[in-house]
Structure 1
């Protein structure tokens, strides 16, 4: 999303130019400008005047302006609501991960054997579920962009450990495949081959469906190969590549990139050149390569522009991935409840966080799948075209030759506002004016990793130390000094709390005096 002024902010202006609606409205502006030129030339160079009365100009212009303003305002409300809903996902993800990491105990006892579970086993369990919380937001991002399935570079590594089939027997077939993987058109035979053999550490994230993993060598060789592979990837990553922070796992089919924005070309910066595309194409190898690339990738081409430069909106795609991930999170919550590992307050908070995630996705789907009714859009655009078409006839008698630039400016203004409303009513795609869903997901990823980096220490280990001055500025001694000074009035049996309150009152008076300007 471009939120800065491209005229005064740093960066490449020609890239931020795509954030405007000039490429979308220039054919309409050009058409009405030609109409104004025709009216002016005929009226100036012939004996016939095309001027008509402008009695209806003010009334219709006011009504049309109010309608366009309402159209833009309702579209921005949808844009703003989408941003608020993503904030809810961020808050709920943070709360859910904190409950899993802090409130779920690390020390457990296996009820079957009566022995204490290894700490590593518990930490792996909790960290895997926190990764699943991260995968939820990523799956919502792909769902809103019309990208179905789970085979994406930023999603598959987070959920590859989830079960594929409803049965764990060796005779599991396509009919036993769970909806999460069934909808992604997974290769059943390749999956069985991958799960039955030990994976090679050198296997990259993108694994062709007709390949099979190599057997794993010794642990030392595996570690060396893994470090070498990681070093090569770091050298290749000369640009921003957040997927480098994700696990490297083999997949049953090639992984699609985390972001698939439309391919840009010279025509996206100079929209008027599209009318010369049939002439320029044979003489430009670069443009010919871009065109052939678009033809090879239908999904990318479908998200480009029309012949006149209009943006083509992506088709909506059903995706049950967020629902399936929410089911696994709910299943984990039910497992914790059966084991009695959560207090009632923590259980209520965890259930509320999962419910918030699901409610938010439903509201995001509502914004995406509820466009403005076609009758309203068609009637508004036809009314605007008729108004701009007859505008030069009504203003010629007052503007003369200035009718041409006046018509161009009016069409640019009104058509621009109308196009802005249509562009931002679905703010989940790859346009520069859409919400930056990738950054939202990366922010959630950073926060969840920060949560799991917390060591959940015992409060006594850091509160009663020399680094803590709890009563400052009234008493600038540290906690350790106050506890060791048994002769101080704070330790009085009957008067200790009285002196503590006097110190806290003095702290308030000092803070009130020091923080106010005289």
Structure 2
């Protein structure tokens, strides 16, 4: 399966097309049959009043005033409730990502790895964290199969998932509507849980698992819940992660604070999964949605009777605008009520999972960093903001505590003047007290001879020569003065 490159940040706010002319993401295909019906109705009423002369169908606009106020209130509440569910889903996914990142960082950095088996165990555990996010995406889409390109290799080592499962809900398999019903209602799924708007521009991607065997098709209704519970792959993954944490603690490869941190992160993952299920399994009450739809259609059907006496055939245009607005807002509320589907306006869970998997792979691509690699790097200038000071951390290793604190005090003042430092700061030393943070003795320290006088430069050369001879290395080039040789 081809994946998008990860070297470019996707800007969700960027668009090369003005919103007025954008097709993808709009709800035109979802409301078009209903909108066309309302326009045809207004055309019929206008023809009867203007052309046939049936003037008895014209009424005053009192009904419009009453219905418009009620309809607007119900629409506002419906849209706000749906958007709250959408935003709650996004918030829970952010919490899931935070927990996965924290848990992966603690495992990779704080977990000890005395053997190759321990390194492989750490990598496998972090792969299970990526599998948790990917499996949650499929679980929220009611795809209970593990045989997906982005999931199967992450959980293939778990024996339980050798059994094929279903990626389509039981209700969608048994109560699948006829083609004409699916054309009339392209937004809502048969069970109201997994919605996908079908259009020429947005179709459900096919996978190799779409034709897999479905055990649900031969189960009784009472066994469906039990089967789904056994195929809750994210929850199953959490059990394996918990067993890994327990095993590392028993082997004393993970200390107590790190164990607590990983367990808290794992508990947070399960809480996020439960929150996702709350949104998925508890739609807005059907009575509210039904009443809203009925109120909108009463308004749409009554509108031509209120306008035809004043507007004539222009009523058709007014009806088209009003019905497009009302039906569109209703369709938007239906679409974002479940933000885990594959509509253009649903959460881009595929992109979220791809980015997270890439981050975890990048985390494990190199061993845990040693502090000496970056603290005593020649490019580390801790006091770069002190005027006239180009000292690196390597240079300052031989400075006294008072000299370093003098530099620290200068960085907090407005007048950043370089303090007087001892010239021995930049001279190499083999003193036993000059060691790196991991206890190793440094082999090379940058020497800036521009700050030393002749005697100090000669002493440094002699010291370098004796140190190189004692350790079996060559003297660094460029350390001797012109025409000088170590004595």
Tell me the TM-score normalised to structure 2 length: 0.68
Unmatched tracts of structure 2, length 5 or more: 1-9, 194-223, 418-487
The aligned counterpart of 2:455 is: none
Residues 123 and 56 of structure 1, relative CA distance in 2, 3 Å threshold: same
Match of 1:477 among 375, 391, 400: 391
Question: How many angstroms does 1:56 deviate by?
Answer: 2.4
Q: Distance in 1 between matches of 2:395 and 2:186?
A: 72
- The residue aligned with 1:441 is 353
Q: Name the counterpart of 2:184.
A: 308
- Deviation string 1:364-410 (CA, Å, 9 cap, x unpaired) is 11111111111111111011101110011012222222111101110
Partner of 1:501: 408
Match of 1:432 in 2: 344
In the TM superposition, structure 1's runs of 4+ consecutive aligned residues that sit over 4 Å from their partners are 1-6, 180-183, 297-305, 314-317, 508-511
Alpha-carbon distance between aligned partners in 2 of 1:312 and 1:421, rounded to the nearest angstrom: 11
Number of the residue aligned with 1:106: 113
1:132 alignment counterpart: 128
The aligned counterpart of 1:74 is: 81
TM-score w.r.t. the length of structure 1 is 0.65
Deviation at 1:458, TM superposition (A): 2.4
Q: Deviations over 1:260-292 (max 9, x none)?
A: 9xxxxxxxxxxxxxxxxxxxxxxxxxxxxxxxx
The verdict on how the C-alpha distance between 1:460 and 1:124 changes in structure 2, with shifts beyond 3 A counting, is same
- Counterpart-to-counterpart distance in 2, 1:352 and 1:183: 32
| RMSD over equivalenced CA pairs, Å | 2.9
Within a 5 Å distance, the mapping from 1:60-71 to structure 2 comes to 60-71=67-78
Shift of 1:122: 1.7
- The separation in 1 between residues aligned to 2:178 and 2:95, in whole angstroms, is 31
In structure 1, the gaps of 5 or more residues are 108-117, 165-177, 186-255, 261-296, 485-489, 512-518
For 1:38-91, what per-residue CA distance to the aligned partner results, in whole angstroms no more than 9, with x for missing partners?
Answer: 221111123431111211212320221121122111111111111121111211
Greater relative contact order (Cα 8 A, min sep 6): structure 1 or 2? 1
**Alpha-carbon offset, residue 298 of structure 1:** 9.9
Q: 1:304/1:47 Cα in 2 relative to 1: closer, same or farther (>3 Å)?
A: closer
Write the mapping of 1:311-390 to structure 2, written as runs, cut at 5 A: 311-313=187-189, 318=228, 319-390=231-302
Give the Cα separation in 1 of the matches to 2:238 and 2:263. Answer: 11
Q: Which residue of 1 aligns with 2:47?
A: 41
1:455 Cα shift? 2.1
Using the TM superposition, give the Cα deviation of residue 7 of structure 1 relative to its aligned residue in structure 2, in angstroms: 3.0
Q: 387, 391, 395: which one pairs with 2:303?
A: 391
CA distance, structure 2, for counterparts of residue 84 and residue 385 of structure 1: 35
Distance 2:124 2:180 in 1: 38
**Per-residue deviation at 1:347?**
1.5
Q: How much has 1:31 moved relative to structure 2? A: 1.6
Instruction: Give the Cα–Cα distance (whole angstroms) in 2 for the partners of residues 390 and 300 of structure 1.
Output: 34
Native 8 Å contact 1:75 1:421 kept in 2: yes
Instruction: Report the CA distance between 1:183 and its aligned residue.
Output: 7.3
- Give the conservation status (yes or no) of the 8 Å contact 1:428–1:435: yes
Q: Higher Cα Rg: structure 1 or 2? A: 2
Count of residues in correspondence between the two structures = 363
Per-residue CA shift, 1:199-247, capped at 9, x if unaligned?
Answer: xxxxxxxxxxxxxxxxxxxxxxxxxxxxxxxxxxxxxxxxxxxxxxxxx
Which shows bigger deviation, 346-355 or 316-325? 316-325
* Counterpart Cα distance in 2 of 1:47 and 1:443: 65
